[in-house]
Every structure is written in structure tokens, then in C-alpha cells.
Amino acid sequence: MRIATFVHHGKRHVGQVSADGLQVTPFALTEAQAERGAQPLIEAMVAGQPLPALSGAPLAVASVKLESPLPVPRRNVWCVGRNYHAHAKELQASVFKDSNSDTKAWPIVFTKVPECVVGPTDDVQLPGAAVSEQIDYEAELAVIIGQGGKNISQADAMKHVFGYTVVNDVTARDVQMRHQQWDMGKSFDTFCPMGPWIVTADEVDGRNTRVRCWVNGELRQDGPTENMIFDIPTLIETISRGITLYPGDIIATGTPAGVGMGLNPPRYIAKGDVIRVEIDGVGQIENRFV
């Protein structure tokens, strides 16, 4: 199943997307429920409750405005740094060469504030040179947690995956380095485009798909998720150690090689750039930087 959050005639809805991705049929949700995007549906399905009925005729996806499937996540987005072998290698030649070089020891985990999430076609706001001159892109597969839990084992982890979506983990590299931690440089307003919908785990296996990213039509990133240093079960086990995960929690699983900082010379995002991220079996997002 594909679950999308969208605006039609000025009102937010949540709907089921057709298999071909061309139509969306709204669920019968109250206005308050729809404000939370797909969150009420995730909670209902985890609790074993029936989904709300579909209401009304299908709408053409082209006729609605897709939003992030979780417009305001319930809390910070969990994120993983340097989680593809080639990406870790490309950053070893950068300013990160002396920082936590043993990538196999533990995953690098940080967060992005929920308010930085925007939709799959929304503009991303560049903060201006006085704030940052090194804005970068990171194409990522994001895991949506279904059944929550704490101290989840790798063996049980995939039972806790509700589905997947696409994320661009936009980053202010100079701010990321300046503060010696990553949250601030990752959490600027609009720095987490997400969508176009959630694809449930029965339709796609995040352990066996492909992440790609184009900048102004130029393919920059292309990596299979099998190349993750820490796979999805390991990430869920790690993040849930002593910390309860809840339905609707989001885990961005890291980015393949080809980020702007890793190029020689580095190539950061400029005003007017358009970045498209596509994940096989999940969908694509495309955002202009303004």
C-alpha cells in the first residue's frame, strides 16, 4: 500500500495511492486526524484496527499537492551518518578524516528537528551566505517504524518496520563542522524534503533497493542499500537501545557516495539548483533550492 498526504481545494487529506502512482483516493478522516498525515493510519494498523473507509472518487495525483506523508513528525527524525562504504571513504579525504574514523564500531546517529520537514516538491530555502555557504544534498532511504519497542533485537527488527519513504538530508557542512556535532547543520528550516508517500513494507524491502540522486539532471549518487555498513536491522537495534521507538518514528538510513563535499573540488548547492532523489520501489522527490 502507498499512503500519501496531500492538499486538495485547500484542505489536507490522507489517501491511498494506486499501484501506478497516478491516482489517490482519500480516507474518511476527520480534519484533526488528517492534520497528522499518515500518523493515525500507522497507529491504527499497528493496533490491529481496520483502516478508515475510502471516501469519494479517486483523484489524479497530478491535480493535488503532495505533502510529506508525515507533515510534522511526532519527534525528531533519527538519522545515520556515513553508512555506505563508498561514502565513508570519500569523506575520509575531507575534514572528517580525523573524526570517528572507525566506521564499523558503531553507527553515527544524529537527529533533525521535525519542523525542518517539507514536501516532495516544496522549495528548499538557502539560508544566505552569512549563515552558511556550504549547503549539500544527501539522498536517503527512510524507514518508518510501525510497532514500537525498546531494546529491539536485530532478529526481530524488520517486524517493527511499517514502510519506507524518500528523504533528502540537506546539510550545512560548515555549520556541521563548526559545532562539532551535526544537529544544527542538519536542522535548518526546509532541510528535510520527504515523500512522495509511504510504501508499506509488504511491497518493498529496504534492504534490497537502490538510492539515486540527480543535481540539475546530472546523476551524482547511485548506490544499492546492500552497500550499507550498518543494515536496517542493526540501525533499529542500535537506536532502540534504552530508547523506546514509537509508531511513526522515522529513521533516515544514510547516503551513498557522491555528495557535494566529497567531490574534488567540492560542489555545493547554488540558488536555482534542482535536486531529484529516487528510490526503486518507493518513489521520487524533486526540490528547487531558492
Give average pLDDT by consecutive 10-residue segment, the chain, 290 residues: 97 97 97 97 96 94 98 97 82 56 79 98 97 97 98 98 98 92 94 98 98 98 97 98 98 97 95 98 98
Distance of CA 206 to the CA centre of its chain: 12
Distance, CA of 13 to CA of 4 (rounded, Å)? 8
The pLDDT value recorded for residue 103 is 57
Interior angle at CA 201, CA 67 and CA 46, nearest 5? 85
The pLDDT value recorded for residue 180 is 80
Distance, CA of 213 to CA of 253 (rounded, Å)? 15
The pLDDT value recorded for residue 98 is 47
Burial class (CB in 10 A: 0-12, 13-18, 19+), 242: exposed
The pLDDT value recorded for residue 198 is 98
Parallel, antiparallel, or unpaired for β 250-252 and 77-81?
parallel
pTM over 0.75: yes
The pLDDT value recorded for residue 105 is 84
Q: How many CB atoms lie within 10 A of CB 107?
A: 20
Distance, CA of 124 to CA of 120 (rounded, Å)? 10
